[in-house]
Amino acid sequence: MTGARPTFYHQIAVNRRRSVLLTLIVAGLLGLLGFGIGFAVGGDVVYGIPVLVGVVLLTFIVSVGTYFAGDGLVLAASQAHEVTDQQAPQLLNVVRELSMAAGIPPPRVYLIDDTAPNAFATGRDPQHASVAVTTGLLEKLDREELQGVIGHELSHVRNLDIRFTLMVAVLVGSVALLADMFLRFSFWGGMSGRSRSRDSSGGGGVQAIVMLLVLLLAILAPIAARLVQLAVSREREYLADASSVEITRNPYGLESALLKISQDKEVLEVANRATQHLYIVNPIKAFEARAQGLFSTHPPIVDRVNRLRALTGSQPLDPESPDLATLD
């Protein structure tokens, strides 16, 4: 007997739980690394607590600065300009219509002059949110597909995804910064004097073991944190897809839009590695030189489409199909 067909409510609940769990893992890595460095350098548990507190304060200060200035920097880097009803009446009509359905204030709407179809949302909360779309998106998508895309972006706003991913990014950056500082300190022999002092008092063996463990953690933690950050980004995309269906009550528009955007060969010139995770579909194409060596910030399009199809009981796409071979 087959199981019951999943609903968008079920998908939303699952993705939220996974996102919170992944974020706690990154926070745990940061706390463990901070405490371990203090312990390794000082040779006692009491030295780990001040370092841990210092790391928390530094992370908080960086978060506050990025929280208030981040959206303006993203829009400026994307060369986006705010639009009026005269310039894009259908776009603004769809944004207002779906904002009402989502129960949030209409965000400010921006346009990016580029023929590659794509869109992103930014802003620290629904009261200070912006949605940016490319001219290519307006030219190549019909109204139903546009609704699916805008529903996805408004879902990011309503779900506080920008704030959530910002918090994860700051945590990951703090892990990398702390690990780098400790590795440089260790490389230049910062612990040699303390190690000799502990050796003379009989405690050097334990501290040497702790130092090796913390060195290993400092090497592996940034990699693990980055992988978790990418996993969080993918989960929030799944969450926004499901939430878009909740808002529009129509999975077909978003499904068609995802396929059309991902199969488009135009290159979005203003996109870069710092902003690629914001877009509804990864704007950096596999054939571009700048795509080499990148981890995936987005789930595979086939997986996203098949999750949408599962909501309606439609036949899933075959990932091995030649027509889908070029999709991320």
pLDDT per residue as tens digits for the range 158-210: 988 877 777 777 778 778 878 887 887 777 655 554 554 445 544 556 667 77
What pLDDT sits at residue 189? Answer: 59
Nearest to 158 by CA among 63, 69, 240: 240
Q: How is domain 72-162+240-311 classified at the architecture level of CATH? A: 2-Layer Sandwich (3.30)
Length of the chain, in residues: 328
Cα–Cα distance, 182 to 222 (Å, whole number): 12
Nearest to 281 by CA among 306, 246, 257, 247: 257
Tell me the DSSP string of 1-54: -PPPPP-HHHHHHHHHHHHHHHHHHHHHHHHHHHHHHHHHHHSSHHHHHHHHHH
When pLDDT is averaged across residues 241-255 and rounded to a whole number, the result is 94
What pLDDT sits at residue 207? Answer: 65
212 Cβ neighbours under 8 A, 6+ residues apart: none
What pLDDT sits at residue 27? Answer: 81
When pLDDT is averaged across residues 118-146 and rounded to a whole number, the result is 93
> What mean pLDDT is reported for the chain?
81
pLDDT band at 133 (very low <50, low <70, confident <90, very high): very high
Beta bridge partners of 120: 132, 279
- Is 262:327 a contact under the CB 8 Å cutoff? yes
Place of tokens 């579909």: 281
What pLDDT sits at residue 14? Answer: 67
Angle between helices 251-263 and 204-248 (to 10 degrees): 120
Nearest to 242 by CA among 191, 305, 188, 298: 305
Q: Which residues are catalytically annotated?
A: 153
pLDDT band at 323 (very low <50, low <70, confident <90, very high): low
Least confident piece of the model among 59-73, 168-182, 275-289: 59-73
Q: Where are the domains positioned within the chain?
A: 8-67+176-231, 72-162+240-311
How does pLDDT run across 212-228, given as a tens digit for each residue? 888 888 888 888 888 88
Residue 195: C-alpha distances to residues 27, 188, 208, 284 (Å)? 29, 14, 7, 48
